[in-house]
Structure 1
Amino acid sequence: MKKLFFTLLIFGCLVTASAQFSRPISIGAGAGATYGLTDLGNSELAFAWYGEGDYLLSPFISVGLHAQKGEVNGHGFDNSFKNNYYAGNLNAKVRLGQFMGLPDNYSNYTLGASNLERIITNVYIGAGAGLLKNRISRNLTTDYINYLSNNGGEVAENRSGIHFIVPLNIGVDLPFGRTLYGPKWAINVNYQHNLTFNDNLDGIINKQKSDQYGFMSIGLKYAFFNRN
């Protein structure tokens, strides 16, 4: 999986990129690897996929919906867990091009900018708010359960609860293919770090540590509708 991820990443950097979509609506899908930061500290890379839709408020600011399905796995000594989760969020992203003083005639800019400038303008950061639904299976030893009980922790009774998350994103869009109104397609490379607030990603509650997980992904986006 690691070799495939980095091969696609290199390909994305080598394609003839253009500036961010001039079209206002885009949809995308992709896949990648998750890893957990949980009470069971040895995380295992696991598979996840996503689908999303974005609306451009300007060529470099977007709001969107993101849906995700995957696993977060981990172990520690003879203890282990697997969370087959579902997640969704509403998010916003801002790209570096927003701060670079680009010309008002955006379609002309997409035809004349250098490849390096096109890539730099599409680096973004973003944040959002969403929900995650757990589907946790676990294998815990009696010794570990006793350790939790004696140190302020507990084994969570609800292994299928829904809880609040905050996704933080950093990545780059690499649109390719040129038309008079800008590109229609883009390769997206993204890292999403997800903060949780009820410490129940692994089925173990330890008030001294809040569970988190990361999602590294690569995907393809398609844009609709020309701007007037």
Structure 2
Amino acid sequence: MKKFILFLVLAFACITVKAQSGYNYYEWGWGGGIGYGRAYADTKRQDYHPIFNLNIAYNYNPFLPIALELQFGTLSGGGRTRDKDASGRIYKNAYKALILHADQQMGDLIDYSDNGFLNVIKNFYIGTGIGAVSNNIKDIQRTNLYSENDVIGSPEGFQGKDKSINFLIPLRVGYEFKIYDNYDQVGYTITIGYEHNYTFSEGLDGYNDNPAKYKNNAPDQYAHFTLGFRYNFGNTVSYNKLVRNFRF
């Protein structure tokens, strides 16, 4: 009987410790990702390209990472034939961007305890931030290949810069899959998301022409779908809710 009681006490203690450990999380994380997207710029045609990123994150809590991200890739569009652009405009931008963003997950806002559905949707997030993009135009057509009377090589030129820096605001949505380690803390995360970046200028495609003559409804933008991975590390911090629900 004494052995049975001792067994129950030890079992209860183990369960209590395991449950309490589910409140903890790591303070830092670092990782990277790959995306696939395109620009929304002034030329009629836009190309899709891979986009890459490296990031380091401060986990304000398990559901609110604040990340500094280095992003790089290629944006291109247009073409030197009329079916791709009426004026023969073309561009290729090997860009780099530095973005500070925070992703607010639903788990920080809802009570998901003992609810299977809420435990699933708690990892959905929306996010935003601020950043800057460095544009490096590698290929561009500055001369109008097709003038109004179809004369190739018209002296009319296109305005813009081959190198520029523009501020941007990202809008982000997605879902984070949490992978727990032996301490029942989030050791790794995999994210699937979509990001749309609004810039405050006309640098992505290198063209900044008169909008009265060349259609230009909005400043340049670019967007991409992303797949990311992050490894969490550093100090162990306690959260006010059970991060991992052991019943689901």
Residue of structure 1 equivalent to 2:130: 129
Aligned to 2:176: 173
Q: Does 1:221 align with 2:225?
A: no
The answer on 1:139 being equivalent to 2:134 is no
Kindly tell me the number of residue pairs found equivalent between the two proteins.
Answer: 195
1:94 aligns with 2:97: no
Identity of aligned residues (%): 26
Residues 40-92 of structure 1, C-alpha deviations (whole Å, 9 max, x = no match): 12111111110111112222122220110101111133432111000011111
CA distance in 1, matches of 2:59, 2:102: 10
Secondary structure at 1:97 match in 2: helix
Partners of 2:91 and 2:140 lie apart in 1 by: 4
Please identify runs of 4+ aligned residues in structure 1 that moved more than 4 A. 143-146
Aligned partner of 1:161 among 159, 164, 169: 164
Q: Which one has the bigger helix percentage? A: 1
Q: Give the SS at the match of 1:184.
A: strand
Q: Which amino acid aligns with 1:155?
A: Q
**Cα distance in 2 for residues equivalent to 1:145 and 1:162:** 31
- Aligned pair in 2 of structure 1 residues 23, 188: CA closer, same or farther (>3 Å)? same
Q: Which residue of 2 aligns with 1:6?
A: none
Residue 169 of structure 1 aligns to a residue whose secondary structure is strand
Please give the TM-score of this superposition, normalised by the length of structure 2.
Answer: 0.70
Asked if 1:80 corresponds to 2:90, the answer is: yes
Change (3 A) 1:130 1:140: same
Establish whether residue 60 from structure 1 lines up as the match of residue 63 from structure 2. Answer: yes
Cα distance, 1:155 vs. partner? 2.0
Conserved? CA contact 1:20–1:175, under 8 Å:
no
Query: Of the two, which has the highest radius of gyration?
Result: 2
Q: Which runs of 5+ in 2 are unaligned?
A: 1-21, 79-83, 149-156, 239-248
List alignment gaps of at least 5 residues for structure 1.
1-18, 104-111, 147-152
Alignment of 1:37 onto 2:47: no
Answer whether contact 1:71 1:82 (CA < 8 A) is retained.
yes
C-alpha RMSD over aligned residues: 2.7
Give 2:18's aligned residue.
none
CA distances 1:176-217 after superposition (whole Å, capped 9, x unpaired): 244334220111112111101111210111454311000211
